[in-house]
Structure 1
Amino acid sequence: MPLIATLPEDVDAAFLAAALDLDAAPSDLRVSPVGTGQMGTCVRAAWTGSGGDARSVLVKLPAADPAARALVAGAYATEVRFYTELAPTLAVRVPTCHLAALGDDGAFTLVLEDLAPRVQGDQIAGSTAAQARAAAVNLAGLHGPRWCDPSLEDVEGLGAATAEDAAMLAELYGPTTDLFLDAVGDLLTTEDAATLRACGAVIADWSLARPERFAPVHGDYRLDNLLFAPPEQPDLDVVAVDWQTVSRGLPARDLAYLLGTGLEPTLRARVERDIVEAYRIALGTHGVDLDTFTAEQAWDDYRLAMLQGPLVTVFGCAYGTRTERGDRMFAAMASRSAAAIRALGSLELVAHPA
């Protein structure tokens, strides 16, 4: 039987002793909530170790409501598979996983490294150039080790997009964009709204473009899913979390999404070429042939991939639980992405590939 905790109260001393193979169950365990958890719950478990040292882990739990849990069971399974099957073969910095368990009823439990004192990125405020560069270099550790690896087809849930998938996306994108603009359109310019709508004409072709280059992609590699070093400990590495949307696709989608949604347009225009090249050079350290994947190709992929921003933003806002912060966040992401798409000629590149 897998070791599953469903509710915060299930994260007790006996559970932690079994999950972490402790010599003795903690006697001073303290469990506290972390974040708001739209798809589940996350708690921090802290205690004093046998040597008197302070210890803590984060525990991710499923939605408490079985009906809600069933709706997102696929995402839970994806994250468990990432930690058990993919992460050991990659070089991207992620939390150390002490336990990854999946139940028959769609429940799951992850016991992960506590990443404090790192701090979560702020999607609304945007990132600095240094943060974006560090996150891009870390991203190369996700893509490079399994770059164009045909054995990815053997990983459940990592199938390539099909023509049927593309047709469904094209059918849904327009109505979903309407829902999105009804929700947050007053926070966007008319020009940005027009750019989001224009993506619908090419979104099917875009979703199938350049299948010759693929790797595991995070799918939602943005600031809120990245933890950065605090000012007092600048040498700490960037860590990526929330691996429930992993798929197989064009690697540049993650990079374009990171920079397109996270950098203010003026800053992005100034630093993006250097960051794209830093990412490409980092890929080379993970085995990618840079004579084949040239700087020109990396830049071209980046330009084309910029539609990842509107795609995730529109669907995430339209079908997620709305909050005041969420509306502002999605509006900022959409506005920055739309500006990048116009500046880089992404729509024209998809519509008229070389």
Structure 2
Amino acid sequence: MPPARVFALSSAPFIVASGVRGGLGIRGPVGDGKAWPARGDHPRMPPLEGAPMSNLPIPMTTEDFTPEWVTAALRSNGTLGDGSVTAVEATPVGEGAGFLGSLARLTLTYEGTGADAPATVVAKFPALVEVNRGLAVQYQVYQREARFFNEIKSTITAMPTPEAYYADVEEATGNGVILLEDLDGKLRVGDQLAGASVREAEQLMTQIADLHATWWGRAEEDTISWVPAFDGPVWAMTAQTLPSLWPTYQEERSHLLPPGMADIIERTWEGLIWLGQQLSRGPMTLVHGDYRMDNMFFPPSEGDPITIIDWQLMSRGRGPYDVAYFMSQSIDVELRREHERALVKRYHDGLLAGGVRDYSFDDCFEDYRLACLWCVMYPVAMGGGMAHNERAVQIAAEVSKRSFNTILDLDSVSVLPS
């Protein structure tokens, strides 16, 4: 498992960037002419009612994953039965500590258990730095992913996800922990820098269409009303934060901007609230939110389902958001240009096959164009506040090229109201 790419809580770029350079209190125009909220004015997140809870404390360091704690966690859903964990060896995965959370591989020694108990698990637990942990709680990333595994995973049939042996959040603090299936050595992790092949992209369009069709028109139901929508307070905080990173991007990455792109990005900042409202028009569906190659695990046999990880950015909105995020960030520019309409059509065909009605290909492609514009926030966030190692710098440059060219090719800025 390549160490630089396993921890998605550190790769949620708009959240990562929000605490790196400061500037959360900027003011400026938004789509409806209101001011951006100043520091302290942004909406506070209500607790997630009905979040999974147990009597186990949330581990805050690797030392907290004691044999007794892991035994209780694995017994809670029958993974362990009557056996016991007698020893836990915790090893950081990748850098171990991401901006919004920590990641470790736990090697387990058992006594009196069957052969089905996992030899290793991957633990995701809160960030070590208090400020970073507070941001994660405010953006509900721990809660979202824990509730995905406890409440939503079972509804998804055509998109494999890692097995979660334990997932919990603490209502009082919002901190969370997940024990996940260790995919290291079983599957090949995708590479966002290299990008997807056409065959991989085709399969990923089919799989995301199946997810979206399953939840199409049902995302307004009370059962998942806790999942943030693009016009809700979680994404409103994103819209107020991103423009503060733009000056740094211009200062350090101006060479990546094609002619006219700076003006387009300025217009996009002014329209982010409006774009979020458009992405929240019904019928909404459940979107992954971070659908990119670094979050894909590929099987040895071509054509077998691709495993998707990292659901902490799961949201409710228009399905083509995931398509736009993937196409504008994870595919080579020339490859996208050659196969773009065919891939979006493959996605649309998958929706129709899944029972979606009254949604034309033209409407789908227009939503795709709009979402591509929204997704310009990701390269700006990476280049303006997150690219602090060699690979991150390379990804920021490549994703910038892909995203900017997508927006220019599609004339996405024309979707904004004049």
Compute the TM-score of the two structures, normalised by the length of structure 1: 0.86
Which of 10, 15, 39 aligns to 2:100? It is 39
1-structure distance, mates of 2:135, 2:266: 28
* SS of alignment partner, residue 119 of structure 2: strand
**TM-superposed deviation, 1:125:** 1.8
Question: Which amino acid is 1:288 matched to?
Answer: V
| Residue 332 (structure 1) aligned with residue 398 (structure 2) | yes
2-structure distance, mates of 1:90, 1:265: 31
* SS of alignment partner, residue 94 of structure 2: coil
Between stretches 266-275 and 47-56, larger displacement belongs to 47-56
1-structure distance, mates of 2:289, 2:415: 21
Structure 1: unaligned runs, 5 residues or longer: none
Change (3 A) 1:84 1:28: closer
Where do residues 119-134 of structure 1 align in structure 2 (5 Å cutoff)? 119-134=188-203
1-structure distance, mates of 2:235, 2:57: 35
Where do residues 261-340 of structure 1 align in structure 2 (5 Å cutoff)? 261-289=329-357, 292-320=358-386, 322-340=388-406
Residue matched to 1:97: 164
1-structure distance, mates of 2:383, 2:364: 29
Question: Which amino acid is 2:371 matched to?
Answer: A
**TM-superposed deviation, 1:7:** 1.5
Change (3 A) 1:321 1:299: closer
Change (3 A) 1:170 1:70: closer
Which of 255, 277, 289 aligns to 1:219? It is 289
**TM-superposed deviation, 1:180:** 2.3
Which of 127, 133, 138 aligns to 1:69? It is 133
Change (3 A) 1:43 1:322: same
Change (3 A) 1:35 1:188: farther
* SS of alignment partner, residue 121 of structure 2: strand
* SS of alignment partner, residue 306 of structure 1: helix
Between stretches 62-71 and 49-58, larger displacement belongs to 49-58
Question: Which amino acid is 1:214 matched to?
Answer: M
2-structure distance, mates of 1:111, 1:165: 27
Contact 1:57 1:113 in 2 (8 A): yes
Change (3 A) 1:164 1:52: closer
What's the Cα RMSD here?
2.9
Structure 2: unaligned runs, 5 residues or longer: 1-54
| Residue 136 (structure 1) aligned with residue 136 (structure 2) | no
Where do residues 159-178 of structure 1 align in structure 2 (5 Å cutoff)? 159=229, 161=231, 173-178=242-247
2-structure distance, mates of 1:176, 1:227: 31
1-structure distance, mates of 2:153, 2:233: 29
Contact 1:152 1:158 in 2 (8 A): no
Where do residues 103-122 of structure 1 align in structure 2 (5 Å cutoff)? 103=170, 104-116=172-184, 117-122=186-191
2-structure distance, mates of 1:295, 1:30: 52
1-structure distance, mates of 2:317, 2:99: 26
| Residue 80 (structure 1) aligned with residue 146 (structure 2) | yes
1-structure distance, mates of 2:401, 2:240: 23
**TM-superposed deviation, 1:243:** 1.6
Deviations along 1:32-83, whole A, 9 cap, x unmatched?
Answer: 2222333211122234674557732211111123343222112212222222
Where do residues 153-232 of structure 1 align in structure 2 (5 Å cutoff)? 155-159=225-229, 161=231, 173-209=242-278, 211-229=281-299, 232=300
2-structure distance, mates of 1:43, 1:165: 29
The share of aligned pairs that are identical, in percent, is: 27
**TM-superposed deviation, 1:169:** 6.7
2-structure distance, mates of 1:72, 1:162: 17
* SS of alignment partner, residue 375 of structure 2: helix
* SS of alignment partner, residue 95 of structure 1: coil
2-structure distance, mates of 1:169, 1:67: 17
Question: Which amino acid is 2:345 matched to?
Answer: E
Question: Which amino acid is 1:11 matched to?
Answer: F
Contact 1:118 1:236 in 2 (8 A): no
Count of residues paired in the alignment: 347
2-structure distance, mates of 1:184, 1:281: 38
Deviations along 1:266-311, whole A, 9 cap, x unmatched?
Answer: 100111222212222222343322xx22222222221222113212
1-structure distance, mates of 2:224, 2:108: 40
Compute the TM-score of the two structures, normalised by the length of structure 2: 0.74
Residue matched to 1:19: 73
